[in-house]
Structure 1
Amino acid sequence: MSVGIRIVDAPVSRRDDERAHRYIIDHVKPDQQIRRRIAVTNLSDTRRRVQLYPAAAAVRKDGFTFAPGRTGNELTSWVTLEHSELVLAPDETATVWTEITVANDATGGEHYGVLWAEISPQHDPSEQVRNAARAGVRIYLSVGPGGAPRSDFHIKDLTGTRAADGVPVVTARVKNTGGRALDLTGKLTLSDGPGGLSAGPFNVKAGTIGPGHSKLAKTTLNPRLPDGEWTARLTLASGLVTRETTGRITIGTKPTPQREGNTQNAILTVGSLVSVAAALLAAYAYRRRNRFR
């Protein structure tokens, strides 16, 4: 039992924005309306009743989070669906218009929600728990006068290591420096490695980052990747914003300062033993000379 839901077409102003083909993303003024057409598909092998409804969501430090059930918020009170219920045959798809009319006294800033399509099985009174399958389209709606807030981010602390289980890992700290939430994906390539080796590109997914927040973008690599120094190039994008960073990283472990200290101690110890042996030989030669006299 499953259901699918997707955006049919992005607005003309956002045709080049990959996120706008997956989510409802826009910037509107109070008392303004936008419309989107969504497609709902019954992916199960039997005829199903599909319920459509908006629900609240939020963007926190751990990313995009969904409110339980049909919990609402300010954004969901602005949403109207052409149909709240569909009956679909197996593999049948229906399109539905949704309208978002922003209230005249709407709170400024970015609002988050989800349009859900849900299939629930027929209720059995003997069962205390009822399972439901649902799929959703996220909503990122910025409200305020003028143009949309700027989207931007920066990448720092590009680092490589090998985890305890032997898997190489490359990480970078990403901070959202703009005024809108970001959904980051990207690629990592490695070059100039041991023996001139290159590797990648590897897929990178940092998830959703809210304005002012930061998150660790993490990429796990093939365990057979050899230890040594590599040149890493990390490219991340959210919508039309792309940023890149390049740096030398080390996969594996470097000699620790303690080991270097142990080496120096060993050299000092050998030097001390040589000095003691020289002193003993000098004393022995002195005694022999006195006995001879």
Structure 2
Amino acid sequence: MTLSNQPKFRHAATLAAIVLLAGCTEQLRKAGIDENSLKAAGAVATSMSKSEATPAEESQIGQASASILLGAAPLVQDREIQTYVNQLGGLLARQTGRKDINWRFGVINSSNVNAFAAPDGYVFITKGLLRTVNDEAELAGVLAHEIAHVVKRHYLIAMRKKDTTGALTNLAATSAKTAGVKGSELAADPLANVAQNMYSSGLDKGDEYEADRLGVVYATRAGYDPYGLPRVLNLYATKAGSNGFELLFSTHPSPQDRLAELDKAMGDKLTAYEARSVSDSKAFQQIRNKAGRVPDPRR
């Protein structure tokens, strides 16, 4: 049974809506609503009115979102590939100044060329992307772009905007009423639907442009060629309509638009970093070649 079908939850959520509208609880007491129900409704109302999720709620949303991504294709079963990407991702994540995020990076066994992130520090790239980028600076630029989405909570905010079923409100209410109790099974289905809708439609253009700008900054701070991400965008521009790139182009602004926005932001400000930055490594080329030999998952 999903959250929306729980009679007790519907009662608390209805009370919460009344609390939000009324601004007080005295009339509810006069109507015979008991004190425990009022406290629960008050907690739900507080959660419903918050602009941001609590860490526990964000963790639950992140898990549901990551499950959607891994449900489409599993992780590559290769420890060396996964360790390499986690080490590179960790280096880039440290440039954000955020020490409160539990970062987790993974390579999905899909030949499509794409990258994804989810709330609470999940970042995934596809096997197809890993074997398509040319050097480590390009991979760093893509990972840094996805890291920026997490730091700025773009996916979480997008899910709130696209949540027409109240799944995130339901999650907040459940968390308020059952503090310390795991509710992932209870909220899995409605959360999965919200996440699926968000990944199918993609983020706003403004979010993508902001992640591009911050991605360049994070990669440069880590010592990588600042033009790694622009080179990837230029590669995308040449691959429009190519096999494996379809999903990427359906959920992102055009690479030409992203390049134009990055050019406005970067100008020649980062040119001095280019000469003394890292563009490639032997480790990257080994991992890239290894990813090219990974078979697609069995259907």
TM range (shorter): under 0.3
Greater length-normalized contact order (CA 8 Å, ≥ 6 residues apart):
2
TM-score (norm 2): 0.23
TM-score normalised according to structure 1 size: 0.23
Q: Please say which structure displays the higher CA radius of gyration.
A: 1
Q: Counting strand residues as a fraction of each chain, which structure ranks higher?
A: 1
Identify the structure with the greater helix proportion: 2
